[in-house]
Structure 1
Amino acid sequence: MEDSVTAVSDGEEVETLVTIGSYGEPVRLVRDSSEEILLLWAIQQPTLSKQNAFVFQSSLKLELEACGHRLIISQSPSSMSTPGVTGAVMWDSGIILGKFLEHAVDSGGLLLRGKKVVELGAGCGLVGCVAALLGAVIVLTDLPDRLRLLKKNIENNVTENDVLGSATVRELIWGDDLDSELTDPLPDYVLGSDVIYSEGAVTDLLATLKKLCGIQTTIILTGELRNDVVLEYFLDAALKDFIVGRVDQRQWHPDYHSSRVVMLVLERKKIKEGLELDPP
């Protein structure tokens, strides 16, 4: 984390802005999970915004312009009837993350070309496709039963000669030991959309994030604001090991933002002589 700047209004401290990891724009430093939840639900008022503003979950295909390409993402709406299966269709948070990556690279806030990236819970694969188009060497991961659709979308969208990066697909169950392809070397970036969905999954998610992250790794997560209890549980646990910031919507792609979605950027707290150093 780089030096912080505290924004002041009428003589009162409002928020602390910092740069976290390799994301070059200042973000709001999250210090307290309950305070952050209060701000998100009271100020953004997510329930008043339209749900699924950028997706069509009943359709077999979703088309999106990104990085000068027309991506065609196959979906499997019928799979949504299976309990626990949400990655068979696209969600707004995935669209927003993909377009954010494009916008951040174009504006100089991110550099993805030649960088190693791991995506967690890749689902239909749109975010990974965008990252590859931007030059990343990305490994998209998900549960075993999600890989067929994921591979299909990668093969259909990341095969052209003018794709700057590359994309591969690997099975990953959060909490399990990691394949060396994911950790040697550790990734420059870890991405995830809608990966904070239940308290039961948070422990395994954070365990995987800690294994994936070195001191040079930047995590970018987006999620839909559905359950304040689950998000507070995640933030409370994450703050023990990570510096956490919230990305202001003014830094997102101007055409892809929603009060129902939050974007977080994280990096591991530094370790010195066996002791973690808290942010200033």
Structure 2
Amino acid sequence: METELDIEEESDDAVLGSYEEPVRLVDDAAAEILILWATNQPVVWKQNFFVRQTSLSFSLDACGQIFTIIQSPSAMVKPGVTGAVLWDSGVVLAKFLEHAVDTKRLHLLGKKVVELGSGCGLVGCVAALLGASVILTDLPDRLKLLKKNVDANVGIPVTTRGYVKVLELTWGDELDPHFINPFPDFVVGSDVIYSEDAVVDLLQTLSQLSGSHTTIFLAGELRNEAVLEFFLEAALEEFQIGCIDQKRWHPEYRSCRVALFVLVKKSLSCM
């Protein structure tokens, strides 16, 4: 039977899931943290290089149109609220998806995508304009801003094959059938690895969402070594993980403060 994991035997790189480009395999969480911080040196690079979190809106050219994303900087004063503004990792992931589709490394047309922690909705909106059927998700109190941005930048329907939905999702909860019937082809998320408590629930949801053909893309800011190491160590118990080199990102949207990972369930390699 054809496998979802195609490992190159003479290399430390592998092709994971539906991303048609070799990535550097992650097999040790602590070693990966050393590599990322030694190679990228994130603390010496400017934070929020692409975004302006004090602005009420953010514009980005993608998929042949100008996206205008509404932000709510005032909401950032509330503890735990980060999705009211954009972060560089979201911009990097959105433009990575566009570039990967343009270069034929990724095929989103007609595919089902679930975005976790959608926040302002940029990544999900870009995926929709690339032809995917997208479910954007967040906590109940974040949905109003998310729906505004989806309506303003995407509209419904997106294509004759796809659709856009905004649904409530709390990580760790039992999933509604909309999410897993059928299972998504892709799960995406940006800046979703931010605390050890959240990691446990995030991984439970990632596991529930992962079917036999599900590929996960996660982009995150390199700001807390301990939290990222905790995530990688826990995720490696169930997932095969690869780190995507910046050479594969959009050439104009690269940041040494951001890491981009691709994940598939380990069980897929044995099918």
| TM bucket normalised to smaller | over 0.9
Q: For 1:227-280, what per-residue CA distance to the aligned partner results, in whole angstroms no more than 9, with x for missing partners?
A: 000000000000000000000000000000000000000001126xxxx959xx
Q: For 1:175-218, what per-residue CA distance to the aligned partner results, in whole angstroms no more than 9, with x for missing partners?
A: 00001000100000000000000000111000000000012100
Q: In structure 2, how many angstroms separate the alpha carbons of the residues matched to 1:48 and 1:5?
A: 36
Q: For 1:12-63, what per-residue CA distance to the aligned partner results, in whole angstroms no more than 9, with x for missing partners?
A: xxxx110000000100000100000000011110111111010010010000
The alpha-carbon distance between structure 1 residues 162 and 203, as it changes in their structure 2 partners (threshold 3 A), is closer
Counterpart in 2 of 1:2?
Answer: 6
Greater Cα offset, 163-172 or 261-270: 163-172
Q: Tell me if 1:139 matches 2:143.
A: no
Aligned mate of 1:70, from 66, 70, 74: 66
Q: In structure 2, how many angstroms separate the alpha carbons of the residues matched to 1:159 and 1:77?
A: 24
Q: Tell me if 1:232 matches 2:225.
A: no
Q: In structure 2, how many angstroms separate the alpha carbons of the residues matched to 1:234 and 1:199?
A: 7
Q: In structure 1, how many angstroms separate the alpha carbons of the residues matched to 2:158 and 2:66?
A: 13
Q: Counterpart of 2:243 in structure 1: which amino acid? A: R
Question: Would you say the 8 A contact 2:84–2:145 is kept in 1?
Answer: yes
Counterpart in 1 of 2:32?
Answer: 36
Q: In structure 1, how many angstroms separate the alpha carbons of the residues matched to 2:78 and 2:157?
A: 37
Aligned mate of 1:47, from 43, 46, 53: 43
Aligned mate of 1:213, from 189, 203, 210: 210
Query: Secondary structure of 1:73's match?
Result: strand
Query: Secondary structure of 2:211's match?
Result: coil
Q: Give the C-alpha shift of residue 166 in structure 1.
A: 2.6
Aligned mate of 2:56, from 30, 53, 60: 60
Q: In structure 2, how many angstroms separate the alpha carbons of the residues matched to 1:182 and 1:266?
A: 18
Mind listing any 5+ residue stretches in structure 2 that lack a counterpart? none
Aligned mate of 1:26, from 19, 22, 25: 22
Q: In structure 1, how many angstroms separate the alpha carbons of the residues matched to 2:81 and 2:149?
A: 17
Question: Would you say the 8 A contact 2:131–2:158 is kept in 1?
Answer: no
Q: Give the C-alpha shift of residue 160 in structure 1.
A: 7.2
Q: Tell me if 1:159 matches 2:155.
A: yes
Q: Counterpart of 2:73 in structure 1: which amino acid? A: P
Query: Secondary structure of 1:270's match?
Result: helix
Counterpart in 2 of 1:12?
Answer: none
Query: Secondary structure of 1:2's match?
Result: strand
The alpha-carbon distance between structure 1 residues 50 and 84, as it changes in their structure 2 partners (threshold 3 A), is same
Query: Secondary structure of 2:16's match?
Result: coil
Counterpart in 1 of 2:13?
Answer: 17
Counterpart in 2 of 1:191?
Answer: 188
The alpha-carbon distance between structure 1 residues 161 and 141, as it changes in their structure 2 partners (threshold 3 A), is closer
Counterpart in 2 of 1:266?
Answer: 263
Question: Would you say the 8 A contact 1:30–1:36 is kept in 2?
Answer: yes
Question: Would you say the 8 A contact 1:158–1:166 is kept in 2?
Answer: no
Mind listing any 5+ residue stretches in structure 1 that lack a counterpart? 8-15
Q: Give the C-alpha shift of residue 6 in structure 1.
A: 4.2
Q: Bigger relative contact order, structure 1 or 2, given CA contacts below 8 A and separation 6+?
A: 2
Q: How does 1:60-99 map to 2 (within 5 A)?
A: 60-99=56-95
Q: Tell me if 1:168 matches 2:172.
A: no
Question: Would you say the 8 A contact 1:61–1:75 is kept in 2?
Answer: yes
Q: Percent identity?
A: 59
Query: What root-mean-square deviation, in Å, do the aligned CA atoms of Structure 1 and Structure 2 show?
Result: 1.5
Q: Tell me if 1:113 matches 2:117.
A: no
Query: Secondary structure of 1:19's match?
Result: strand
Q: In structure 1, how many angstroms separate the alpha carbons of the residues matched to 2:121 and 2:149?
A: 6
Counterpart in 2 of 1:204?
Answer: 201
TM-score normalised by L of structure 1: 0.92
Q: In structure 1, how many angstroms separate the alpha carbons of the residues matched to 2:155 and 2:175?
A: 27
Query: Secondary structure of 1:79's match?
Result: helix
Query: Secondary structure of 2:207's match?
Result: helix
